Amino acid sequence: MNAAGTALVVAAPVLLGALAQRATGLGLALVGAPFLVAILGPRDGVTFGNALQVLLCAVVLARTARGVDLRAAGMLLLGAVVAVPFGAVVVDVLPEGPLLVVVGLLAVAAVGLSLAPRLGGWMHGTPGALAAGAIAGFVNVTAGVGGPMISAYALVRQWSMAVLVPTAQVVLLGINLVALASKGLPRLDGAVWIAGVAALALGVALGDVVQRHLDPQTARRAVAVLALAGGLATVVRGVLTS
């Protein structure tokens, strides 16, 4: 596939992911990552997703910053910053397929626990926030899907969308910046970058419209479904890669 064709194929999942992330707080890594990896390859797909996440998080945060839970974001980020370099080392050492399966199952388990209040109790307090952030950072750098762990933490804390959306952007922005510092930018054709950025802009604009029509219960369900889908997609990627 030539550069123009690749750019067109990349645009669709990026647009859908950006729309979902503006509306619910996460989505680009969950919706877009499996497709980006399939189109661009494991390393370039994940790092391109990291780069797009940095831009998307900054844009969404600029529009929603008033609702940030600064203490929770700080604890999650602290845990993530510690774990991301470790995850970058693991990526270079362990086989990709088995690693993705383990990471995906970890994400699915975290979301499942968050839906059962008694089982998700370990995520309360400072230790829980640090642990959740560490897992999110590790999962993001190894598979490009840190969102499920953040959504699990948000579900346990019963955050409203007004808190979840901006707080998730702060954490994801930090995680993806550290991931890029660890791995560097992918070497892709300029047309791919242009298509990705344009799709992000359109996705955010459409997400603004969707977000205004989401009631709290529907939004909570959407977050859980997106998080579970991201974890399961990572498991499938691992099985197919093995």
User: In this predicted model, what pLDDT tens digit does every residue of 57-103 receive, in sequence order?
Assistant: 999 999 899 999 999 999 999 998 888 777 777 777 777 777 777 77
The tokens for 190 are: 């300029």
- Which pLDDT value is given to residue 218? 79
Domain boundaries, the chain: 3-241
Q: What is the mean pLDDT of the chain?
A: 81
Using one digit for the tens of pLDDT, what is the confidence trace for 180-191? 887 788 888 888
Mean pLDDT of 42-66: 88
203's enclosing H/E stretch is helix 190-212
pTM of the model: 0.78
Question: Is the pLDDT confidence value at 117 over 60?
Answer: no
Say yes or no to pLDDT of 129 above 60.
yes
C-alpha to C-alpha distance for 144 and 133, rounded to whole angstroms? 14
A 10 A CB-CB count for 14 gives 26
Structure tokens that stand for 116 in this block: 């059962």
DSSP letter at 123? G
